[in-house]
Structure 1
Amino acid sequence: MSQNTASTGAFAPLKQGLFAVIWAATILGNTGSFMRDVASSWLVTGLSSNPAAVALMQTAATLPIFLLAIPAGVLSDILDRRRLLIFVQLLLASVSGTLLLLSHNNLLTVDYLIALTFVGGIGAALMGPAWQAIVPELVPRPQLRNAVALNSLGINIARAIGPATGGLLLAALGAWAAYGADVLSYVFVLAALLWWKRPQKPKDALQEHFFGAFRAGMRYVKASRELHRVLLRAAIYFAFASAIWALLPLVARNLLQSSAGFYGIMLGAVGVGAIVGALLLARLRQVMSSDGLLLLSAALSALVMVVLALLPVQWLALPLMVLLGVSWIIALTTLNGVAQAVLPDWVRGRGLSVYLMVFNGAMAAGSLFWGLVASQTGLVTTLLLAGAALLLSALLFWRLTLPSGEDDLQPSGHWDAPVVEGDAHADRGPVMIQIHYQVAAADRPAFLATIKKFSLSRRRDGAYAWGIAEHSAEPDTLVEWFLVESWQEHLRQHQRVSHADADLQREVVSFHRGDSKPVVHHLLSLH
């Protein structure tokens, strides 16, 4: 094996001690969470036989993430991510502790379960962007996609262990035991986070504040065509795939006529399948594109739903759950890995928060929709409809390809420092930046096509308006202009411009025919 292969292999990130410790701790934490979830999901089917009420549990878990993902992403970019994660772990431990007390005293109701699941969803919303955004801090960039895949593998190792263990605890001792195990699991996660001595970043005069960071993040998302493709593909996939997850407790209880223990084993089989899928992914990526992987995942999930609907027998359900796990890990890792790869570090938390919002919004809306459909048409018809719709949508959107994510998004620092004389307070604005190019008439069409592509870079990094104008007295002089909300935000723009942007800027400047570099003017508002 070559040194390069060893350093970028599927398990290479585990050679990074910090990543390995936090990865192991999260497996234990997620194992406890799956114990909690299987207990809550099973309890609600006993408290209510209405499919809509059962599906509402999935909605309660994912709706807070849809609503709070973007604010959570802003917080993950402007706060110390380690401290934020510690706070969230304490919040989630308190939720499970409350469930433990209520279940031990036989006080749990559907309302309590949904409400506490919703609070747990708030914790998950706060945790998601920060947890994913710390990955690049723990591993070198060449190992990033493998680290994302290992995180998904870790979650599904927990999925293989947690539900089965939770189901056994639920059957043997009661729900309080599963909830108690979850409370204990948070101890390990907190210990790992406390052990991590995250380097303190020096105070930055350009440190963003919440609302400014929010606007900057939304400008980036609005202008990132690559992220748009990821979000659209994720929304379509998860809206249809959510059916099997929302209805699985009812499939286990009503179609398969199984017990709580078997339901836990079913979820454990999903985890086993996810582990198998994660191990296969490195090889699959060598022969299939991201789009091919997503189509494969849709086909497998659709197959599981159709076969479960037509042949609801327990012995067949377990291999189907393994297949579902393979499908799920392929979709999650593919979409999340591409989303990570198209986001620069400065906006990673905010960009991932939008991805998580779309993911959980699609899951929440899809779960509620398929629960209502099942209430009217029955489980079998709903599973058939959802499976067919998932496969058809994957085929229809095949041509909307996912981005490669190979661009170098690290800051290039190639912009010259702006010349300032007199008063230029940080909050002064808006600011207009003008760049004067000398472009020959024959080159104008190619120049305009190139600079319009470059305009997306300006908008992603801070501009809220952009345009190109012709000098009335000098037809060969073309003026690019863009507006930034403050002088401070423009200085941040200097820090954000990436190597990929620098390559495109060199292509734009190659059309310039002047004796020196294009002239840049900075104009500050007087009001």
Structure 2
Amino acid sequence: MTLMSVGYNVVRSIGPALGGVILALLGPLTAFAFAALTDLVPLSAVLRSKWQVRSSPLPRERMTTAIHDGMRFTAISSEIRVAIVRATLFGLSSISILALLPLLVRDQLAGGPIVYGVLLAGFGTGAFIAGIGNSYLRRITSQNRLITLASVACATCCLLLALTSSVAVAAIALAIAGAGWVVTWTGTDVCVQLASPRWVVGRTLSIYYALTYGGMAAGSWIWGAVAQYYSLTWALEGAAAALLLVAAVGKLLPVRLWEESDQGAFDFRPPELALDLKPRSGPIVIKVEYSIPEENIEEFLSCMRERRRVQSRAGARDWTLQRDLQNSTLWTETFRTPTWTDYLRLNHRLTVTDREVGERLAALQVGDSPPRLSLSIERSTSPAPGSQVQPVPFVSRP
């Protein structure tokens, strides 16, 4: 992710300056024609790439189901939620720098395309330097502190841009903002990826990018409206205040990297069944019985809270935990899946780290026997459509 950001910002450093020179010397038609030709290079690379699709023993999910499962996983995973909230707020505030830059060049710096290209090159240069040193920065401090400092750096840039009329000072300020830009986006991107198993990583990243780019789109409109109805200085100073608030949010919503978790899929073998189930047979009821001594109940309940989160984000529905009234050591975990395929998909989605929760629960059992798993299928007692129902005779009481 850092290498991608570095490469992107190297091009960002060279491209605007080159575009400004072409625009000033040859006009907009030549500049845009040159930009269109350069787009053919990545397009040809995509066309020549050979994509490897990971095979699955399960049928392809429907689009609506896949979207729903991705949104549910994102909503249940606290580390992904925090990264998305922090990134969206940062994008909402920091986009003011790039959105208001043309106005700054024209009205405050009295410049043209070349000045605009130079300032964007300064932004890209700062991003490039931060990308090179990002791994070192993560070794000496936490990712949450880096993202907080990046928000402060972008706030400093906004204040400098609001107060200066010097191109050199503006270029230095934009270099500071570029560094904060890369540190924030690489940190939140990596956080979302590390917290997402392979089966859902594309969906969580899609939600992440949709919300963060939506925040940047909204921020561009907000700060542009402030600049239009009030002033450019007010807009930049307001953005600086907003970025300082975003930095303060880091105390309430710290970003954590889950580097030690194993998000690889667990090797699951379907159990043997007495019934011949079809892929869409269901609903399936899953019950797991635990025998827990009194001294292990607190730890058991703590593990069960994690177990509920793990099972629910993988696809479990109506998850409950019951304690037997006649046998105080007997606890039953119950949940449902809509179909047999959904049950198989749930188990294929569980990672090695998720399975460790089950191992901790098994260690709390009485004796050496593992928890007892039972599978059943719900059957309705309602009559089939078109069948004749025998009326229940009415017998009056004497």
Taking structure 1 as the reference length, the TM-score comes to 0.69
Q: Distance in 2 between matches of 1:451 and 1:200?
A: 35
Segments of structure 2 that go 5 or more residues without pairing to the other structure are 381-398
Paired position in structure 2 for 1:335: 188
Q: Distance in 1 between matches of 2:285 and 2:72?
A: 17
1:395-434 pair list within 5 angstroms: 395-406=248-259, 407-413=261-267, 415=268, 417-434=270-287
Q: Distance in 2 between matches of 1:188 and 1:229?
A: 36
Q: Residue 510 and residue 201 in structure 1: after superposition, are their counterparts in 2 closer, same or farther (change >3 A)?
A: closer
Q: Distance in 2 between matches of 1:166 and 1:324?
A: 21
Q: Distance in 2 between matches of 1:332 and 1:202?
A: 31
Q: Distance in 2 between matches of 1:175 and 1:454?
A: 59
Q: Distance in 2 between matches of 1:161 and 1:525?
A: 64
Query: 167, 170, 173: which is aligned to 1:314?
Result: 167
1:287 and 2:134 correspond: no
Q: Residue 502 and residue 202 in structure 1: after superposition, are their counterparts in 2 closer, same or farther (change >3 A)?
A: closer
Paired position in structure 2 for 1:184: 37
Q: Secondary structure in 2 aligned to 1:312?
A: coil
**AA paired with 1:412?**
F
Contact 1:470-1:478 within 8 A present in 2 as well: yes
Q: Distance in 2 between matches of 1:511 and 1:266?
A: 62
1:446-496 CA-partner distances (Å, limit 9, x unpaired): 211211111111011111331101123322110011122221111111211
1:436 and 2:273 correspond: no
1:56-67 pair list within 5 angstroms: none
- Shift in Å at residue 357 of structure 1? 1.6
- Shift in Å at residue 303 of structure 1? 0.6
Contact 1:227-1:339 within 8 A present in 2 as well: yes
1:235-273 CA-partner distances (Å, limit 9, x unpaired): 222221122122111111111111012111211221111
Contact 1:219-1:464 within 8 A present in 2 as well: no
Q: Residue 520 and residue 183 in structure 1: after superposition, are their counterparts in 2 closer, same or farther (change >3 A)?
A: same
1:485-513 CA-partner distances (Å, limit 9, x unpaired): 22111111121111111222211221111
Taking structure 2 as the reference length, the TM-score comes to 0.91
Contact 1:273-1:325 within 8 A present in 2 as well: yes
Paired position in structure 2 for 1:349: 202
Paired position in structure 1 for 2:104: 251
1:95-134 pair list within 5 angstroms: none
Query: 231, 239, 242: which is aligned to 1:386?
Result: 239
Q: How many residues align?
A: 379
**AA paired with 2:131?**
A
Paired position in structure 2 for 1:54: none
Q: Residue 178 and residue 424 in structure 1: after superposition, are their counterparts in 2 closer, same or farther (change >3 A)?
A: farther
Segments of structure 1 that go 5 or more residues without pairing to the other structure are 1-147
| Most deviating of 486-495 and 176-185 | 176-185
1:455 and 2:308 correspond: yes
Contact 2:291-2:366 within 8 A present in 1 as well: yes
Contact 2:148-2:250 within 8 A present in 1 as well: no
1:205-284 pair list within 5 angstroms: 205-284=58-137
**AA paired with 1:420?**
L
Paired position in structure 2 for 1:362: 215
Paired position in structure 2 for 1:476: 329
Q: Distance in 2 between matches of 1:212 and 1:331?
A: 32
Q: Distance in 1 between matches of 2:70 and 2:203?
A: 6
Q: Give runs of ≥4 in structure 1 deviating > 6 Å.
A: none
- Shift in Å at residue 203 of structure 1? 6.4
- Shift in Å at residue 437 of structure 1? 0.4
Give the structure with the larger helix fraction. Answer: 1
| Most deviating of 310-319 and 153-162 | 310-319
Q: Secondary structure in 2 aligned to 1:472?
A: coil
**AA paired with 1:267?**
L
Contact 1:437-1:514 within 8 A present in 2 as well: no
1:332-371 CA-partner distances (Å, limit 9, x unpaired): 1111111111111110110001111221121111221111
- Shift in Å at residue 190 of structure 1? 2.5
Paired position in structure 2 for 1:19: none
Q: Distance in 2 between matches of 1:353 and 1:213?
A: 12
Q: Secondary structure in 1 aligned to 2:255?
A: coil
1:465 and 2:310 correspond: no
Q: Secondary structure in 1 aligned to 2:39?
A: helix
Paired position in structure 2 for 1:160: 13
Q: Distance in 2 between matches of 1:175 and 1:490?
A: 58
**AA paired with 2:20?**
G
Q: Distance in 2 between matches of 1:214 and 1:252?
A: 43
